[in-house]
Structure 1
Amino acid sequence: MLFSSQVALWLTLVTSSTVAVILPVAKTTPSSVNRRWLLGDDKVRGVNLGSLFIIEEWFAKDEWASMGCKGFYDEWSCVKHLGQEKADAAWDKHWKSWITESDITQIASHVLNTIRIPVGFWIKEDLIHDDEWYPRGGLKYLDRLVGWASDAGLYVIMDLHSAPGSQSPNEEFTGHGTANPGFFTGANYERANKFLEWMTERIHTNNAYHAVGMLEVINEPIKQRVNATDADDMLKNFYPAAWDRIRARESKLSIAKEDMLRKLTSRPTIHPLVY
């Protein structure tokens, strides 16, 4: 995915399919490294680092096959087929080589300024249930990646791409392509909110995450035309709670108001329940 619009426009055009919160302006120049925000005259020019932490076979066919996953639709089915230990070894090899520091340097050399990193909720491994099948061990590679991005002066969008229970039917990007997505329950909203709290804390307290300037709270959830009941429930019960939980975690961390995650918008209110 190539981002070419201004960040302010990116946020203005957000719909129920993609909701993000964003950090405020850092005291930097356009050429500065470790920046958490693109200045107003900058545009987002960047790339999505697809199939790193969530593999979609349609654009990683050879890699998928080399991992022993040919013929399997998603990460869940392949991990279950291989068994946890063998799957973790296959994914570890993938994470080591799919995106390298040289790739990040090359991205920056082409005058791109942003990367988007899709991750699954399972990168926080204590959120995985015993009857779920996801690869384990990816967090150290995420930490390494955001550190590289910070060193290269790139702005980072962190994306909760795959939610607990799956947020859209029959999609590889959810990690579990089920026909009946199960995200739309209080229990799975809670797991997602725990992920968002945890990631918010990492952004504010882990120096490797210094360049992370946007936290996307969910990617492409179910559309109203597919299931209006689930879509409406998410708008009513997930988004407002996600916002409040992020705010509460920042308050717990004693984050100064000017350093809190926030939306930049011309609208008079930014609370998701009335947005």
Structure 2
Amino acid sequence: MKLLVKKQVSTFIFSFWLLFSLASSVPGLKNDEKVRGVNLGGWLVIEGWIKPSLFDGIPNGDMIDGTKVQLKSVNLQKYVSAENGGGSNVTVSRDVPSSWETFRLWRVSETEFQLRSTEGQFLTCEGQGCVVSATTEVPGTNEMFYIEKLSNSSRVHIRLDSGAYLQAMTENQLTADYPGTPDWDDNAATFEMTIVANNIHGDFQLANGYGHAKAKQVLEEHRNSFITIDDFYFISKHGINTVRIPVGWWIAFDPDPPAPFIGGTLAALDNAFSWAQTYNIKCIIDLHAAPGSQNGMEHSASRDGSIDWPTSQEYINKSLHVIDFLASRYATHPGLLGIELLNEPGAPDVPLDTLVSYYQQGYQIVRKYSQTVYVIICQRIGDADPLELYHADIGSTNLVVDLHYYNLFSDFFVNMSSAAEIDYIFKGREAQLQQLNAANGPLVFIGEWVNEWNVTSGSQQDYQKFGKAQLDVYNEASFGWAYWTLKNDRKHWDFEWNIRNQFLELSNSAGSQVFNAIMYLGLICSSLYLNNIL
């Protein structure tokens, strides 16, 4: 009888231990713990808002690639318009500007530009006396315009390479036939240029804005100083066991990637793996910027906000080539934990069937080199349900779905109180995590989150409570989480600043406290039970 009880108690203890160890286990990490990570954003893929000073030296920096402009004739007091958004002649006929009257700049030099309509066609003019239309799909010399600016003014002149200036004499056309060189008075060749948006500051804008030689110097200095081995020491000291490293597609073509991109990211990634190994940290490589852009944002290296990745098989094949390159180079490296196939594909611009097909092919590519490396697939941003990826047959082993949780970028959180935001973390986010954890499919990874919100007057204590709530909930993700990002010009986004200034307290999360308390209680109960019956 006593032997039977001993066996029952032993089974109870083992089952108790197994239950909780499996709930917090990611094989490949030390002690099979879950991912507690931080992103190295803004390092190998540039995001201007993370470090704005990188763009300070670009000449005529308010007219970089992707800048949206509107042009108003001072003679007619009408706006230049690409009728129907492009595909026909250009008029100067609108009193109030909207989408047809907005053009995206493609920068050729400090003063030379191509102008793209909302439907994607470029303004074109064949020479002296021509009528400007928005009918060209691929820009060339006929689509080149010199924009001359009056100092300290919004007034501009626009001329062709031949020297002919554009003018607006009638509402139904824009022509290249102004006689001579215009003054800056209210003549037909003078326009008021309004910069509507100048919010894309990525790798393309930096490299094309500076030019190759200067951009190479700027990026070399940035890559050598923004993230160093000292940062890996810092994060390891604070319990971080993983870094998620965003890379751009051009890394596969180092050291001489296609223009305007600048080589050197591959050497920097090699350094990261070496530093990570020094401090027993694992690496996730994340394809953050795909050719053609998968979401139109600066962190996808978009030139002008267009989302062309899903519309071109060439872009998809090139992305798969990048995954093959990364997997073949790092799959057997002891520091690699996972490869993320694509960051934040946009919905609905990226159709689900296109994305699933890409993920299936990417999964097989990684499996060609390793059966254990985690393959991470990111949910579509926008109006998309992450369960859609659980219903897709992408892969059978070591597959992870990446969710990005921000209490920002949505009207839903505007004017929400700190208490309401924290309550949403527990009621909304936790419920979704529990649903996904219970689903028969991939592990769950909160690959991006931040200790920032729309609460404008939050105290240090408010931030601590908000951070603690997120950690409590995100610790439940079956794969783990990664903070966005290690360093940032905006202090509450900066992981190091949050830790040093005690706005985020990693060791005090209720999830780990509850787990430890339950384990401790279980051991005590088991011990007492054994003592009473033996």
TM-score by length of 1: 0.71
Q: Deviations over 1:43-81 (max 9, x none)?
A: 322211111001111121134436879544221122112
Tell me the SS of whatever aligns to 1:115.
strand
Question: Is 1:217 aligned to residue 217 of structure 2?
Answer: no
Amino acid at match of 2:290: A
Give 1:167's aligned residue. 294
* Partner residue, 2:415: none
Aligned pairs for 1:2-151 (under 5 A) are: 25=27, 36-40=28-32, 42-65=33-56, 71=62, 72=64, 73-125=201-253, 130=258, 132-151=259-278
Q: Which digits, 9 at most, give the CA deviation of each residue in 1:120-141, with x for residues without a partner?
A: 01111269875x4212122111
Identity across aligned pairs (percent)?
25
Find the counterpart in structure 2 of residue 235 from structure 1. Answer: 355
Spell out structure 1 runs of 4+ moving beyond 4 A.
66-72, 126-130, 267-270
Candidates 266, 279, 282, aligned match of 1:152:
279
| Structure 1 residues 268 and 102: alpha-carbon distance in aligned structure 2, compared to 1, 3 A threshold | closer
Q: Which residue of 2 aligns with 1:198?
A: 325
Partners of 1:44 and 1:221 in 2: CA distance: 23
Q: Note if 1:180 corresponds to 2:306.
A: yes
**Rounded Cα–Cα distance in structure 2 between residues aligned with 1:202 and 1:235:** 24
Change (3 A) 1:172 1:263: closer
Larger radius of gyration: 2
Structure (1 or 2) with the greater strand fraction: 2
Please list the CA deviations of residues 216-247 of structure 1 after superposition, one character each: whole Å capped at 9, or x if unmatched: 000001112xx3xx323423431122122223
Aligned residue type for 2:44: F
Question: What amino acid does structure 2 have at the position aligned with 1:238?
Answer: Y
Task: Please tell me the residue identity of whatever aligns with 1:101.
Answer: I
Ranges in structure 1 where 5+ consecutive residues have no aligned partner:
1-7, 11-23, 26-35
- Measure how far apart 1:147 and its partner are: 0.7
Secondary structure of 2:327's aligned partner? helix
TM-score, normalised via structure 2 length: 0.38
Query: What amino acid sits opposite 1:96 in the alignment?
Result: N
Contact 2:58 2:210 in 1 (8 A): no
Compute the RMSD of aligned alpha carbons.
3.3
CA distance in structure 2 between the partners assigned to 1:268 and 1:173 by the alignment? 26
Q: Which amino acid aligns with 2:202?
A: D
Indicate how the Cα distance of structure 1 residues 55 and 268 shifts in structure 2: closer, same or farther if over 3 A, else same: closer
Question: Which SS does the other structure have where 1:133 is aligned?
Answer: coil
Distance 2:282 2:42 in 1: 19
Task: Point out the structure with the larger helix share.
Answer: 1
CA contact (8 A) 2:255 2:264 kept: no
**Inter-partner Cα distance in structure 1 for 2:340 and 2:52:** 27
Residues 139/150 of structure 1: CA separation in 2 closer, same or farther (3 Å cut): same
